[in-house]
Amino acid sequence: MKRHLLVLLLSILTVPVFPQTAPAAVRLDPSAAVLELAGAQEPLDPATFIRTALVFSGVSEEQLAESEAQIQTHIKELREQLREVTDPREQAEAALAYMHEEMLSRYDERQTGVDVLLARGSYNCVSSGVVYATLLKSLALRVWGVRTSDHAFCRVQAGDQAFDVETTSPFGFDPGTRKEFTDNFGRVTGYSYVPPSNYRDRRDIGEKELLGLILFNRTAFASERRDYLGAVPPAVDAYALLENEESRERLITSLLNLASWGGMSGRFGEALEFLDQAAERYGDDRLDALRRDLMHNWVLSLIQKGSFVEAERLLDTHRSGGPLIEREWKELTVYLYQVRAQKLAPGDYGGAARLILEGLNKVGSDRGLAKSYEVYIHNSVVTLVRNELYDEALAVLEEALLQLPASGVLLKDRSMVLEASARR
């Protein structure tokens, strides 16, 4: 029997050890912060915006006050510097310069946490964009996000005009007009510069979706690290916040990856318990399909280990209305009895035949089991004849022909036994 393959949605080069935390314990309900934010109207007030950014970055309740104090210190210093500046464009441009001079030190494509930016100055386009938006909101300037297929930046309303701001570069204000930005962009971020107005798939996003990019990145980067437990909660929150196709796909992917990882690690029961919860909460055909594959592989693994009683109990428990459909239940049950009989046959062909007959009585008509029954009866008869136990051989054949009356092999064996018995 061929083992079903569990296909991960992310490429895995090695199979890591499954974490001690059970997957069923992972959070599948949105956090309180997400539920609160989902009902809020934009523009968000600066305090809510930065607190949410920190929570989405994974900051604990105990560390929130310290991180919030850090950003408030920067806001105070920026306001002090801009005390005499009233022009919105000058304020927005000065805020970008301040951020790069006082807050940012090293670009890291995977550093999406606002708390890490505040603590170490390490940043990417999302974390720098969120912090820049926080600074501008504290100046009462309107700011929002812009997304492309692999990038994000900000756009700010300054008077009658709106300007793009590439927050990863100190020269990123209105970058299409800045030669120094063009020269600097690739060196800072590792990307080739494309004028923002030329992005084919650029689209404006609101403050909530800008914050949601933190969650998207956390899910993606956790999966790259094979931290499939850590990838699920931010995916859950992103879907609860945005409720769009992209956030749902990211969520389902994270659920499938964690459950698949459990199966690959041999922790089938935990993986299935997690999938049951996930399917109940976020019903999806792909989750149901993986449940069937995991159950299939669990049964196979038990059979291959020789845990036949446990495998049969598992099969019968999930025969109907569960992960195993009837056809697959029969296929696996047939395989179970075939393997059991093969192990028994070398020393006891009769016992192997009786075991196969038990399987036939359980699953009903099956060509494979019938053929095995025929073979084991034949081998048993041959053994008895060699020992000149003709009456016993005939008794075995007569009983077997009640099960397979049209078997050419068994009818031929009966003729052979009768002839051999007559020559005694």
Q: Taking all residues of the chain, what is their mean pLDDT, rounded to a whole number?
A: 89
User: Using CA atoms, how far apart are residues 343 and 347, in angstroms rounded to an integer?
Assistant: 9
Which of the two residues, 424 and 197, has the higher pLDDT score? 424
Lookup: tokens for 308: 């036949």
Whole-model pTM: value is 0.83
Mean of pLDDT values over 262-276: 93
Residue pLDDT, tens place only, 249-267: 999 999 999 999 999 999 9
Cα–Cα distance measured from residue 296 to residue 5, given in angstroms and rounded to the nearest whole number: 10
Of 319 and 4, more confident: 319
Residue 184 has what pLDDT? 59
Determine the Cα–Cα distance for residues 236 and 300; give it in Å rounded to an integer. 32
**What is the model's pLDDT at position 198?**
54
Residue 21: predicted pLDDT: 56
CA 412 to chain centre: 57
Residue-wise pLDDT for 166-206, tens only, equals 999 999 999 877 555 555 555 556 555 555 555 567 899 99
pLDDT tens-digit map of 65-94: 999 999 999 999 999 999 999 999 999 999
What pLDDT is attached to residue 18?
44
Pairing of the two strands 161-165 and 106-107: unpaired
Q: Which domains does the chain have, with CATH numbers?
A: 32-284 (no CATH), 325-422 (1.25.40)
pLDDT tens sequence across 351-392: 999 999 999 999 999 999 999 999 999 999 999 999 999 999
The per-residue pLDDT for range 6-63, each reduced to its tens digit, is 323 333 323 333 455 556 578 999 999 999 998 899 999 999 999 999 999 999 999 9
Show Cβ contacts of residue 136 under 8 Å, excluding neighbours closer than 6 positions: 91, 92, 95, 142, 143, 154, 156
The yes-or-no verdict on residue 277 having pLDDT over 90 is yes
